[in-house]
Amino acid sequence: MSKIKKFKITRYKKEIKPILQMKNISKRYNEKNVLQDLNMKIMPSSITGLLGPNGSGKTTIFNILLGITKMDAGELYINPDGKKNINIGSLPIHQRCFENKIKFIPQNDSLFRNMSVADNLKAVAEIVLKDRRQIEETVENLLSEFSLTEHRTTLAHSLSGGQKKKVAICRALIGECSIMVLDEPLSNIDPITIEMIKDVIVKLQLTRSITILISDHAFENILQIADEIKILSDGYICSEGSPSSVVKDERAREKYFGLNY
């Protein structure tokens, strides 16, 4: 894989609308303004890398998007079919997840620890899908597509970090997924498994047209797979653009990459 993604997968025509818009989002914890009038547009079927220093508010943005954390001010819209903005700012988590098809792979392990890989998938399939045969088929197809068949009876707590991420991604694909949000999916993962997870993510974009929003401190890996990079600092997006342009941007270097990068 080259160091920086050199081509843009999707060339957007003027009439193509963002699939996700965050408008003037603010969030304060105690005395600290974590997000201040944050604006962000995400284009459909793109991979967007959200980068920023520790504590800059990346996870807070994801939690606000999923409805886990309440924003103090701002608006949140999705436009899944390119026709109409839907205001999701006050919807509960389950509606954003199941009806609006926004799926979250959190930073920490999110699997049911004492259940097998197959049962982790089945547990969600049984909520989302109705027909028993469809449930079985969906689980089997995912296990096979993600090369997890040999781990089907393995308990989640005894999987490696990389395998856990893969199962979490699989689980998010049950039902439909239009936007997948991944918070540090590459942390504590060995280099070969990092390559495997990056391949999985790019495949989600290419074969399922899923819009990906990803954050990770393994930023060189993000530069390789992202179409768009957004740098979060001081509560707002201080630099954005293609990976090759953002790494040259003075502000991005000052706030995140470092002046020697």
Ligand X SMILES: Nc1ncnc2c1ncn2[C@@H]1O[C@H](COP(=O)(O)OP(=O)(O)OP(=O)(O)O)[C@@H](O)[C@H]1O
Q: What is the contact surface with Mg ion in residues (CB under 5 A)?
A: 58-59
Contact between 34 and ligand X by CB under 6 A: the answer reads yes
> Least separation, in Å, of the C-beta of 219 and ligand X?
11
- CB 83 to ligand X: min, Å: 32
Out of ligand X, Mg ion, none, which partner does residue 48 contact, by CB within 5 to 8 A per kind? none
User: Interior CA angle at 33 toward 29 and 38, to 5°?
Assistant: 120
Q: Whose Cβ is closer to ligand X: residue 146's or residue 219's? A: 219
Q: For residue 185, state whether it binds ligand X (rule: CB under 6 A).
A: no
Q: What binding mask, one character per residue, do residues 52-91 give for ligand X by CB under 6 A, x or -?
A: x-xxxxxxx-------------------------------
Pick the piece of the chain touching ligand X (CB under 6 A) from 49-57, 89-97, 203-211, 245-253.
49-57
Q: How far is the CB of 194 from ligand X (least distance, A)?
A: 17
Q: What does 56 interact with, of Mg ion, ligand X, none (CB < 5 to 8 A by kind)?
A: ligand X
Whole-number Å distance between alpha carbons of 115 and 206: 31
Q: Which of 121, 250, 231 is nearest to 173 (CA)?
A: 121
How many chain residues are in contact with ligand X, going by CB under 6 A?
A: 11
C-beta of 182: minimal distance to Mg ion in Å? 11
Nearer to ligand X, 59 or 239 (CB): 59
Contact partner, 191, from Mg ion, ligand X, none, Cβ < 5-8 Å per class? none
Rule CB under 6 A: say whether 221 interacts with ligand X: no
Please say which residue, 85 or 110, places its beta carbon nearer to ligand X: 110
CB of 187 to ligand X, least distance (A): 9
Nearest distance in Å: CB 60, ligand X: 3
When CB distances are held under 5 to 8 angstroms depending on the partner's kind, the choice from Mg ion, ligand X, none that residue 55 binds is: ligand X
List 73's β-bridge partners, or say none. Answer: 26
Residue among 216 and 227 whose Cβ is closer to ligand X: 216
In the sheet where 102-105 sits, what is the strand order? 102-105, 179-183, 211-215, 47-51, 228-233, 236-241
Please give, one letter per residue, the 3-state secondary structure of the chain.
Answer: CCCCCCCCCCCCCCCCCCCEEEEEEEEEECCEEEEEEEEEEECCCCEEEEECCCCCCHHHHHHHHHCCCCCCEEEEEECCCCCCCEECCCCCHHHHHHHCCEEEECCCCCCCCCCEHHHHHHHHHHHHCCCHHHHHHHHHHHHHHCCCHHHCCCEHHHCCHHHHHHHHHHHHCCCCCCEEEEECCCCCCCHHHHHHHHHHHHHHHHHHCCEEEEECCCHHHHHHHCCEEEEEECCEEEEEECHHHHCCCHHHHHHHHCCCC
Which residues make up the interface to ligand X (CB under 6 A)? Answer: 29, 32, 34, 52, 54-60
